[in-house]
Amino acid sequence: MIYVAELYYLQDQRDFPFQKAVLVTAQTVAQWCAHYRAKLIAPAKTVQGPAEKQGLLPIQPLERALLVEQIVQWIFANSLTDDLFYLLLDDQPISAPNGAAKFDHPDDTCCWFLNLNEDEFDALQAAWRENGLPANLFYPKDKAVCVPFPGSSLKAKMLRALGAQKCYTPMQWQAETASLDPPSP
């Protein structure tokens, strides 16, 4: 099943521990993967060495976790912005786009996907909880809420006439609808 990043945490909450969330997620998902590919998309000017890394993940769990930690640290230490990077982890060789990898962060965080079975996702949620992260950091892709483009401006009316929608993650939708509800007496 494809799971999508809950942007309420990753974009709407300024103090959210984004780097920790990436590391915990990558290390946990890597246990079901054999291959990795990482690339700097917005490299810092001082980057020494290659802007891309790929290869096989070690078989030993501790070595695998250490390599994934090194890759994630390399990305954050050498990127101008935390949320713009390429990191794929999968059980199949990563050569060309062939559907979502198990850990699929192809550019920015709004396009971050996980392709996990139910047991894997349950284990990942447990890892998030153990690390003080929300268990709903990702959600099933089909749970997004899309509504006709809001607003009363001419632009909004034209967009609605063209069928444009605004989509929300489940937590964003909850926050949006809570702001519309009148306060209770």
Do 67 and 82 share a domain, yes or no?
A: yes
SS3 content of the chain, % helix, strand, coil (to 5): 40, 25, 40
> What single string gives the DSSP state of each residue in 144-158?
-EEEEPP-SSHHHHH
Do 159 and 175 share a domain, yes or no?
A: yes
Do 71 and 162 share a domain, yes or no?
A: no
Given a contact cutoff of 8 angstroms between Cβ atoms, the answer to whether 139 and 8 are in contact is no
Instruction: Write b or e for each residue in 38-77: b if 16 or more Cβ atoms lie within 10 A of its Cβ, otherwise e.
Output: bbbbeeeeeeeeeeebeeebeeeeeebbebbeebbebbee
Calpha distance 71→26 (Å, rounded): 10
Determine if the pTM surpasses 0.95.
Answer: no
* Count of domains observed in the chain: 2
Do 60 and 111 share a domain, yes or no?
A: yes
Calpha distance 21→56 (Å, rounded): 23
Give pLDDT tens digits for 107-152.
Answer: 988 889 999 999 999 999 999 999 999 999 999 999 988 888 878 8
Do 92 and 155 share a domain, yes or no?
A: no
Do 107 and 21 share a domain, yes or no?
A: yes
Give pLDDT tens digits for 74-88.
Answer: 999 999 999 899 999
Query: What was the pLDDT predicted at 15?
Result: 94
In a domain, 185, yes or no: no
In a domain, 151, yes or no: yes
Q: 132 is in which domain, residue-wise?
A: 2-142
Q: How far is CA 125 from the centre of its chain?
A: 14
